[in-house]
Amino acid sequence: MDLTARHPRTGELLSTVKFMVQTLAAAGELQRDLQRELTYDGLRAAEAKGAKGGRRPAVAGATAADVRTAYREGRSIAALARDHRVSRGAIRTAVADLLPEHTASEEDAPAPELPVALDMPGKVADYLRTTELEPAERAALDQGVAVRRGQGYTLRVSAVPAVHRGLLARCQPLDGGQGLSAVPAQRKARREYENRVSALTP
């Protein structure tokens, strides 16, 4: 059948041609779906038997056990790769859990500190801007967002708890001492910030 045949008057494809094209397209789609289903069924059956997908390791079975034993005895990765005629990456894969960087499990490693947003009283922020700070402390202060509070303001600072504690230590002189007289308003502001920092999880 000529799949390009058109009606002599309208110039449209013949209805029989349209039907054949749609039928062939549906048959192709059915074949593709059946292949996908059969592939998934095969993968599930293989997994049920204990088979694992993906590329097979270059060092496997008894050879891997020999490689691991030799590595424990002090053989270098380069020497083992030469002996077994495989890449160094294949040897590293076989002894991955024995490498120095894997001696401490990730579960035992402390979780990294996440930034916390705290409102710093404006009087504290004004004092810290004139104080010598560490780069991380200065960056946190510079990136703070001012929030108006009546006639004053607070500075919303987002930083990890360690930086907040460092900033709190920097404004210690606001409490007075060491020959300096404390301004009540500044002392009160520092105490407010101290209370907020103290509420953070150590």
Task: Please say if the pLDDT value at position 107 is more than 50.
Answer: no
Among 7-11, 48-52, 136-140, 150-154, name the most confident range. 136-140
Task: Please say if the pLDDT value at position 100 is more than 50.
Answer: yes
| Average model confidence (pLDDT) across the chain | 82
CA angle 124, 129, 132 (to 5 degrees): 110
Task: Please say if the pLDDT value at position 132 is more than 70.
Answer: yes
Task: Please say if the pLDDT value at position 202 is more than 60.
Answer: no
How does pLDDT run across 137-179, given as a tens digit for each residue? 899 889 988 888 777 888 999 888 889 889 988 888 887 765 5
| pLDDT value of position 103 | 46
Q: How confident is the model at residue 105 (pLDDT cuts 50, 70, 90)?
A: very low
Structure tokens at 97: 């859990």
Using alpha carbons, list the distances in angstroms from residue 61 to 46, 58, 64: 19, 10, 5
Q: What percent of the chain has pLDDT over 90?
A: 5
- Give the position of tokens 């002599």: 8
Task: Please say if the pLDDT value at position 112 is more than 80.
Answer: no
140 Cβ contact partners less than 8 Å away, ≥ 6 residues apart:
157, 158, 159, 163, 167
| pLDDT value of position 31 | 92
